Amino acid sequence: MRYVLILFTLTLTWGLMAAPQGSHPPLSKDEILDLLRTSTPSQVIISTINDCGIAFQPTAQIMEEFRKAGADKAVLTALRGAWHEEIPKPLGDKEIRMLLAADAPSTNIARLVRERGIDFRPTPEYLQEIQSEGAKDDLIATLRDATPRPFSKQEILQLLRARMDQGRIAQKVRIRAIDFEPGAKDLQALRTAGGQAALLDTIRTAKVARPFAPQTPAGTILGDDLVQGKAVTLICGPGDSDVPVFAEAGDLGKIATRLHCGESVTFVEKVSSPPGVDKIKYAGEKIGFVANSYLETPIATPGADVTAPSPIFKPDPPYTPGARHSGIEGVVSLWIIIDSQGNVSGIKQISEPLGSGLDESAISTVKKWKFHPATRNGAPVAVRVRVEITFRLRSNRP
């Protein structure tokens, strides 16, 4: 039996070493255990791990199992470095169309775009097409401002280890750019994972963009009546004839039922993933999920029947010593939410960072501002307003 096991392991090792890079699947836990139990040299195991990747998460329990089977520190380090958590996939143009066809609310799709990014460039023609397919203004505006999410090195390594066609990877890199400067070590890691010359040349000359940062802008806040276990009324926006209720939070294509605008449901909790979804009970004890725009109180904007808030306490942000020393000037633009008590309850920066602590100075100071709240028909309401903080150095001349 031991002879058969040794023969199998040697055959496995030889097959992995002889196969073209990137052509074999990631290693299973049992395959690595077989290599360890037959005293395969550590350098061979490490090379195999680096070449193939692994198809499991190396938990503490699994790592202890490997250690008992003979894995030394170098092998354990290679195993830890071979595993990468799944990176959320950016939305494609077809996925957005599918969500619209499944009656997913535009507000929810827009939140997903901000949370995960996109992998294409929305043309004016595309935006016009999806508008005719039901996309509302918030989604159109979000896509119009969006740029394709750049690839990280780990994402490209994942695609290589999944054996995606390298021509397709190169095409996507040209569209999305990359968020790292491809040095010699990066290119070697990609080559080890199976990257061929044409793909490596594409990566070497690709445009480098800023890393993607998920954003969830302050578009709504919780209303006073949104309390766990309490009945709330479904709020519909213009053009909504009913409210789609999803069977699963993570699948916006599975609609369980539709409820009438104004119908009462029970709020259960907010869902962390995907963003913008709330869990509810309806029709007694049935569980479903809805876009939170149907439950949360919309944020008003000053104008029409909404009076603007007026400041009570509004100090200017201080200049930081580093910015003053470097002579940095500029404007920090923010969207802020002023709640019905006149406090600043949400902030989102919409301008490029100035650096040297000026952005942080602006945000921390604005959080302390106090206002007489905005009102609608005499009642205080939350509003969203845009503010600009200007940093200018005074001239030393009289």
Average pLDDT, the chain: 79
Band of the pLDDT at 200, cuts 50, 70, 90?
Answer: very high
Q: Does pLDDT of 295 surpass 80?
A: no
Reported as a single tens digit per residue, the pLDDT across 245-257 is: 888 877 766 788 9
Which has more confidence, 23 or 174? 174
Helices (H), the chain: 2-18, 29-37, 42-52, 60-68, 73-82, 93-101, 106-116, 124-132, 137-145, 153-161, 166-176, 184-192, 197-204, 321-326, 358-366
Q: Distance between CA atoms of 339 and 360, rounded to whole angstroms? A: 22
Which pLDDT score, from 0 to 100, does residue 291 have? 81
Q: Could you count the other beta carbons within 10 Å of the beta carbon of residue 171?
A: 12
Read off the pLDDT of residues 23-80 as tens digits, 9 standing for 90 and up. Answer: 456 778 888 998 999 888 998 898 888 767 777 778 778 888 899 999 998 898 888 7
Lowest mean pLDDT among 7-21, 45-59, 284-298: 7-21
CA distance 144 to 77: 44
Residue burial 126-149, b: 16+ Cβ < 10 Å; e: rest: ebeebeeebbbebbbebbeebebb
d(CA 191, CA 197): 8
DSSP state of 186: H
pLDDT surpasses 80 at 18:
no
Model confidence band, residue 120 (pLDDT cutoffs 50, 70, 90): very high
Domain boundaries, the chain: 2-82, 93-145, 153-204, 220-298, 306-391
Q: Which positions ≥6 away from 264 have C-beta within 8 Å? A: 231, 232, 233, 234
Average of pLDDT values for 181-194? 91
Tens digits of per-residue pLDDT, 325-374?
888 888 988 888 888 788 887 787 877 788 888 989 999 899 999 999 88
Query: Which of 125-129, 220-224, 259-263 reaches the highest mean pLDDT?
Result: 125-129
72: left (phi over 0), alpha (psi -120 to 50) or beta: beta
Q: Rounded to whole angstroms, how far apart are CA atoms 105 and 237? A: 11
* Amino acid 48: pLDDT: 83
249-283: per-residue pLDDT in tens? 777 667 889 888 778 888 888 876 666 688 999 98
Per-residue pLDDT band for 301 (boundaries 50, 70, 90) equals low
In this prediction, residue 240 has a pLDDT band, given cuts at 50, 70 and 90, of low
- The CATH architecture to which 306-391 belongs is 2-Layer Sandwich (3.30)
* Strands of 272-378, DSSP E: 277-282, 286-291, 297-298, 306-307, 310-313, 330-338, 344-349, 370-372, 374-376
The pTM (predicted TM-score) of the whole model is 0.44
Q: Kindly indicate the confidence band of residue 169, based on its pLDDT and cuts at 50, 70 and 90.
A: very high
Inter-axis angle of helices 93-101 and 124-132, nearest 10? 10
DSSP 197-249: HHHHHHHHTSPB-PPP-------EE--TT--TT-EEE----TT--EEEEEEET
- Which pLDDT belongs to residue 306? 78
Homologous superfamily in CATH for domain 220-298: SH3 Domains (2.30.30.40)
CB atoms within 10 A of CB 20: 8
Task: Indicate if the pLDDT at residue 14 is higher than 50.
Answer: no
